[in-house]
A = this chain, B = another copy of it.
Amino acid sequence: MAKTDNIQEPAVDTTEQRIFEAAREVFTQKGMDGAKMQEIADRAGINKALLHYYYRSKEKLYEMVARAIVGKMLPTIRQLLESEQAFEDKIRGFIDFYIDIIGRNPFIPLFVITEINKHPERFFETILPKDLPRPEVFFSQVEAEVAAGRIRPIAPQHLLVNMISMCIFPFVAKPMIRILLGMSPGEIRLFLEERKREVTAFMLAGLRP
């Protein structure tokens, strides 16, 4: 509990941080089982023994990395669920910001999904923070919009899941989409960028009364 509790500080390039960054790369690409301490050490440019000097075990190192990654996604979701912003602005803002952050960190969704499915107990007890965003404000907001006739009747839970699905899934399924639709690397990049506009349009169209 002594030093690194919060982990978003800028690059000071200590050995400890180089290890952490190398571990983040390897763990996110290979997963817990596929990652090897040797590869992390090589990528950090140091020796295997040093990994254990700074982080006691592979398990501890993994937990640090996982916590930092999960923590990165929560503020955006909290903003959507808990803020008092106007409904349509919120939808627009969430889609834009969420697709943007995933576009810049495309490894995050698969990492989180894998972790949560393969090791749910560790995820919920050790990695996920306890103060999760609460969806009540957002849900009341949806219900108010429905009651006012500004959007068609829809269950708020399904609305939320539809929106998140359309934002995240294409990044996770990117290689499959590329092959199925016969896109070049440049075309798929453009396609994913377009989705900010497309998902927003589709959400608003799907909600028209």
**Which residue numbers of A lie inside 8 Å of B, CB to CB?**
29-31, 33-34, 77, 110, 112-114, 116-118, 120, 123-124, 128, 132-133, 135, 152, 154-155, 157-158, 160-162, 164-166, 168-170, 172-173, 175-177, 179-181, 191, 194-195, 198-199, 201-203, 205-208
**CA of A208 to CA of B29, assembled, Å:** 41
Of B155, B164, B179, which is within 8 A of A124 by CB? B179
The binding surface of chain A is classed by DSSP as helix
Copies of this protein in the assembly total 2
Q: A120, A128, A162: which has the most chain B beta carbons within 10 Å?
A: A162
Q: Which residue of B lies closest to A136 (CB)?
A: B182
**CA of A165 to CA of B109, assembled, Å:** 13
**CA of A119 to CA of B110, assembled, Å:** 14
**CA of A144 to CA of B24, assembled, Å:** 47
**CA of A84 to CA of B160, assembled, Å:** 33
